[in-house]
Structure 1
Amino acid sequence: MTHPTATLVEDTTEVTSQTIRDALRDAIVDRRLAPGTKLSEADVGTIFKVSRTLARSALQALSYEGLVVVERNRGAFVASPSLEEARQIFASRRILEPGILAEAARRIGPAEIAALRHLLKEEERLIEARGQHARRAEIKASGDFHLALADMAGNAVLRRFMDELVARSSLVIALYGQSAISSCGHQEHEAIVTHIETGAIDEATAMMLHHIDHIEADLDLRAKTGSDLKEALLQSL
């Protein structure tokens, strides 16, 4: 039987800083690594069978995205956004996403609508599922909907901005969010697609802003504890 660690990468001789960064980023965005979790260079190096230098490079790349905080003499930790940072993240999304939606709507045809509806179908399936893993996957599917719209806008710079904002939103939801809004959020996604399909772009934009407001309104002050690095990286395999 193959050891589960081996399945993190196909060939450990080809592990790069980007490989490590992507795996850690996925674990953070999927909420397998909770805000505040310590990311030891030694532990990361051991899990991926690489040097601490390579592990450090991956952690540094994540710090540039705001997903990891590197503290002198303490090490690296999954970022724990403050409430003010959370407000800024959602304020940024209110500015950015209406423009993305408008640009995407100009390019969206039947094939793109079908792709969006496929994402919505998967999101609905995950909402109906049970368990912690399904909840994490549902949150990721919700983020994927927003990223798909950014892809359809055809602007690589905006797509990178959205990639960071969605990832940081996931951290905020992990730290402050509740789970009660899932089905409502899905219904709002459906309404956005329907408005785009019928050419009602103003209504789609209004629903997008309402949707972002809805997510932010769900934030609270409940603290979440850190999680185990190795367990978080391996549990999805």
Structure 2
Amino acid sequence: MPNDIKIADYPFVPATAGEDRAFGIREQLRDAIIDRRLAPGTKLNEAEVGELFSVSRTVVRAALQMLSFEGLVRTERNRGAFVANPSPEEARQVFDSRRLIEPALAMAAAERIGPTDIAAFRDRLAQESELISERGASARRAEIRASGDFHLLLAEVAGNAILQRFMEELVARSSLVIALYGRTGASSCGHSDHGSILKALESRDGALAGRLLVHHIDHIEGDLDLRSLEGRALRDALTSP
């Protein structure tokens, strides 16, 4: 997922003094989900979250809408909001979809790629290299985001706005699955794979880049352990490390 998400990216967030507070709550809830402190299926009670952060339910609702937009939270009518709980079948569908879409994006990107795009890809790889050497939950979250950004940049360079929107959702859902079920405790989105894909793109070999992407996605999915997880209660997850 991109690192530069802003309030303006969420048109449903009201333009009030509480919008920054809503974004901050979104960040803390997101971190708790990615860190596995909030397990899939945990109910995010608006009143409880509002009490914890001393804000109105309107502000909480805006934060939950942001998370729903990213695929990290699901909302159910008359029941409330819950941490998304992707099933093994849903996880397979996410990666099957990526296997279909990303090789086509690679073909298009290989035809369109230019020096500025190559520099942007190299910048992404440099960020990943730095994060791989770091430790801790925050570095892990950042690595997952940086890894997702590589794939979103591929979609951007390909120049198909509709497929780019699909990829934004798929990468968000993939990031949740990886964070929840990845065995290695990292993004599992191999840094060396990204380097090989970039070399193929630079050579304008879209077919090779597509094959490398499929292998790469196989690698990501192969690192998943889709056993059920146990997490903390909402209050404990948000008030303790």
TM-score with structure 1 setting the length: 0.78
Are residues 1:41 and 2:61 paired? no
Structure 2 partner of 1:98:
103
Structure 2 partner of 1:84:
89
Tell whether the 8 Å contact from 1:29 to 1:170 is kept in structure 2 after alignment. no
Find 2:121's aligned residue among 116, 119, 134.
116
Q: Alpha-carbon deviation of 1:22?
A: 5.9
Read off the aligned partner of 1:141 and give its amino acid letter: A
Structure 2 partner of 1:167:
172
Structure 1 partner of 2:17:
13
Aligned-pair identity (%): 57
- Tell me how far apart the structure 2 counterparts of residues 232 and 111 of structure 1 sit (CA, whole Å): 42
- Tell me how far apart the structure 1 counterparts of residues 239 and 166 of structure 2 sit (CA, whole Å): 28
- Tell me how far apart the structure 2 counterparts of residues 21 and 104 of structure 1 sit (CA, whole Å): 36
Tell whether the 8 Å contact from 1:104 to 1:150 is kept in structure 2 after alignment. yes
- After superposition, the Cα gap between the structure-2 partners of 1:128 and 1:172, relative to the gap in structure 1 and judged at 3 Å, is same
Structure 2 partner of 1:4:
none
- After superposition, the Cα gap between the structure-2 partners of 1:58 and 1:144, relative to the gap in structure 1 and judged at 3 Å, is same
Q: Please, which runs of 5 or more residues in structure 2 have no aligned partner?
A: 1-6, 8-14
Find 1:212's aligned residue among 213, 217, 222.
217
Structure 2 partner of 1:153:
158
Bigger mean CA offset, 219-228 vs 28-37: 28-37
Q: Please, which runs of 5 or more residues in structure 1 have no aligned partner?
A: 1-8
TM-score with structure 2 setting the length: 0.77
Q: Counterpart of 2:190 in 1: which secondary structure?
A: helix
Tell whether the 8 Å contact from 1:12 to 1:49 is kept in structure 2 after alignment. no
Structure 2 partner of 1:131:
136
Q: Counterpart of 2:151 in 1: which secondary structure?
A: helix
Q: Counterpart of 1:13 in 2: which secondary structure?
A: coil
Bigger mean CA offset, 189-198 vs 173-182: 173-182
Q: Counterpart of 1:223 in 2: which secondary structure?
A: coil
- Tell me how far apart the structure 2 counterparts of residues 18 and 152 of structure 1 sit (CA, whole Å): 32
- Tell me how far apart the structure 2 counterparts of residues 151 and 43 of structure 1 sit (CA, whole Å): 39
- Tell me how far apart the structure 1 counterparts of residues 186 and 179 of structure 2 sit (CA, whole Å): 14
Q: Alpha-carbon deviation of 1:23?
A: 3.6
- After superposition, the Cα gap between the structure-2 partners of 1:234 and 1:162, relative to the gap in structure 1 and judged at 3 Å, is farther
- After superposition, the Cα gap between the structure-2 partners of 1:233 and 1:101, relative to the gap in structure 1 and judged at 3 Å, is farther
Read off the aligned partner of 1:104 and give its amino acid letter: A
- Tell me how far apart the structure 2 counterparts of residues 51 and 67 of structure 1 sit (CA, whole Å): 22
Query: What's the CA shift string for 1:132-166, capped at 9, x where partnerless?
Result: 32222211111111111112223332222111111
Query: What's the CA shift string for 1:88-128, capped at 9, x where partnerless?
Result: 00011111111222222222111111110111011011112
- Tell me how far apart the structure 2 counterparts of residues 214 and 196 of structure 1 sit (CA, whole Å): 20
- After superposition, the Cα gap between the structure-2 partners of 1:24 and 1:104, relative to the gap in structure 1 and judged at 3 Å, is farther
Q: Counterpart of 1:220 in 2: which secondary structure?
A: coil
Tell whether the 8 Å contact from 1:80 to 1:175 is kept in structure 2 after alignment. no
- Over aligned residues, Cα RMSD in angstroms? 3.5
